[in-house]
Amino acid sequence: MKKKSSSKKERKKKEKSHFLLLGGLGIVLVILLLHIFYFNFDHPIDDAYISFRYAKNLILGNGLVYNPGEHVEGYTNLLWVLLAAPFIFLGFDPAHISQIFSIILSCLTVFILFFIAKRFTGIIGAFATSLFLVFNSSFVIWTTGGLETSLFSLLIVLFLFLLFKEKFFLSGFVLSLAYLTRPEGIICFGVALFFLLFKKNYKGAFSLLLPFILIFFLHLTFRFFYYNDILPNTFYAKVVPSNLSYQQGISYTKWFLKTNFGIFSIFFLFFLFNYIKVFWALYLLVSLFLFSFYITFVGGDSFPCFRFYAPLIPLFSLLIGASFKESLYTLKKKAEIASILPVIVFVFLLHHTASSKAEESNQNRDYIPLYEKIEKGRKEIGIWFSKNLPKDTKIAVGPAGIIPYYTNFYTIDMLGLNDKHIAKQGSKGGILVGHSKFDSDYVLSKKPDIIIVGAAELLEGSPNIKRVSDYYSWISKIVPSDNALLTNQKLFEGYRLVGMKIKEGFFLPLFLRRDSVIIPDGERIVILKD
């Protein structure tokens, strides 16, 4: 009877423990959702629509292309493009679907990471890991940015889960999907393969290698024969090795580490002391170092909120969680006051992360509404163009996502992401990463009907030359490709500067080719400079 009573108590204790565990994890996920809605992008960023345009052309039978008939790989997220295609085919708005899908993916990332952390660091470390992640504004903001960030984060974490369980074939397959989502996935593969070979686990290395290398070479073969290249066009357009690029990359990485970790760096002392010889810890450290080196090498990113580092936040969080747990354990052995120390430090952790690093948080609160306003305006422009201009209209733009997606017009991407000629030009300088290659003579030689200089931003008020001049003066200092166009005499010889009234109280400045026949309702256009 005593044995039955004892086993019954143990069972109840386990059930209570599981209930508390799942309840705590549920609270963490609720915090994540609240944080996502607090910082939510109401409208995905422009670059996301480049991927959606490739997906749309695919379902229309044009192939994986930006412009029908032109085989240019202007994306680096093949899996994300393929996942978007069926939803676009079914008539869903890719903006909303991508955001809903990404929120689900981020929740799954937190869920899997929690159990990885629990295995290595216990309950305290698991909750510290999860809380650090869900309060991180970079991770949260890019969940609803419309890009592949959340998918890449999930696949990396799932890969780690399988790798640490020594499910090498499955981990290799998942890692190949991560590579198809972001090419940086190959870094995780290289580090894992090295460690397995170093430990003389040749069977595990082969099991990891087989699915990854098969999909890698299939993709490389497709790229070579379909796009006639071995690297995506975006690599040529954005990666410009130079002293300026390296300086920008170093500043990007330093600012990321400073605003995201700061005082948490002291926990790494405990972590290094206790985990430096442990396989999973070494794997994370080496992977993060190589990822950081790559991000620094390419110059970081022009978007705020550390988009390139966002998928790595789960890995950093796991190290922070382990460090936090070890620091508490070490301090608890030193003094009786440490019995309340976990509560004090835990509250401090919540305060630090909930404030979301005040300076960065203020930037984010300013940044998101600004981008939402511009992106919504671009959507209105694209829809208005598609309804009022001929289907064979040819346009040239800098932001090559939203307007081209909604118009389906032939589009010249003036920053070269989707144009081989521009992407393979030499760098011509500029302060924005990925904006240093352009060719204004080439753009003009293509004779687009419309050239949109600047951010394709709706300006408030009635069309007037002073407002546009001020806007162009400001934008020319930031984007060298726009400055090159505005200082090219051929532009004014072949085009008229007009203000197009897209909606009441707002207009779009653009250059309209003089001999173009696409002019819509005359009341909608005000000629600003003939």
| The pLDDT of residue 305 | 80
The whole-number pLDDT of residue 29 equals 86
Threshold 0.85, pTM exceeds: yes
Concatenate the DSSP letters of all residues of 93-106 into one string.
Answer: -HHHHHHHHHHHHH
What pLDDT shows up at residue 284?
Answer: 85
Query: Alpha-carbon dihedral of residues 506, 510, 516, 520, nearest 10 degrees?
Result: -10
SS3 state of residue 526: strand
Give the H/E segment covering residue 509: strand 506-513
The Cα 485–Cα 473 span in angstroms is 12
The tokens describing 496, both together, are 């008229």
CA distance 3 to 291: 54
> Can you tell me the distance from the alpha carbon of 304 to that of 256, in angstroms, rounded to the nearest whole number?
10
pLDDT at 7: 63
Nearby residues of 303 by Cβ (< 8 Å), 6 or more positions away: 45
Query: DSSP label at 298?
Result: T
Helix (H) / strand (E) containing 488? none
- pLDDT for 10: 62
Report H helices in 78-184.
78-89, 94-134, 137-141, 149-164, 168-181
CB 446 within 8 A of CB 396: yes
Rounded distance between C-alpha atoms, residue 510 and residue 459, angstroms: 11
**DSSP characters over 17-81:** HHHHHHHHHHHHHHHHHHHHHHS--SS--TTHHHHHHHHHHHHTTS-S-SSTT------S-HHHH
Question: At a CB cut-off of 8 Å and minimum separation 6, what does 496 contact?
Answer: 511, 512, 514, 527, 529, 530
Environment class of 1 (CB within 10 Å of its CB; exposed 0-12, middle 13-18, buried 19+): exposed
Nearest one of 387, 411, 371, 370 to 503, comparing CA atoms: 387
Rounded-to-integer distance, Cα 233 and Cα 498, Å: 33
Task: Quote the pLDDT of residue 280.
Answer: 77
∠ CA 138-144-147, nearest 5°, is 90
Render each residue's pLDDT in the chain as its tens digit; 530 residues.
555 555 666 666 565 566 667 777 888 888 888 888 876 666 788 899 999 999 999 999 999 999 999 999 999 999 999 999 999 999 988 888 999 999 999 999 999 999 998 888 888 788 888 888 888 888 888 898 889 999 999 999 999 999 989 999 999 999 999 999 999 999 999 999 999 998 899 999 999 999 999 999 999 999 999 999 999 999 888 877 777 778 888 888 888 887 776 555 555 555 665 666 677 778 888 898 899 999 988 888 877 788 899 999 999 888 888 777 766 666 555 554 445 555 555 555 554 554 444 444 444 555 666 677 788 889 999 999 999 899 999 999 999 999 999 999 999 999 999 999 999 888 776 666 667 788 899 999 999 999 999 888 899 888 889 888 888 888 888 888 888 899 999 999 999 999 989 888 899 999 999 988 776 656 678 888 87
Q: State phi, psi for 35 to the nearest 5 degrees.
A: -65, -40
Contact predicate 92/118, CB 8 Å: no
Distance between CA atoms of residues 74 and 412, nearest Å: 12
pLDDT computed for residue 302 by the predictor? 77
CA atoms within 13 A of residue 412's CA, in its CB half-sphere = 23
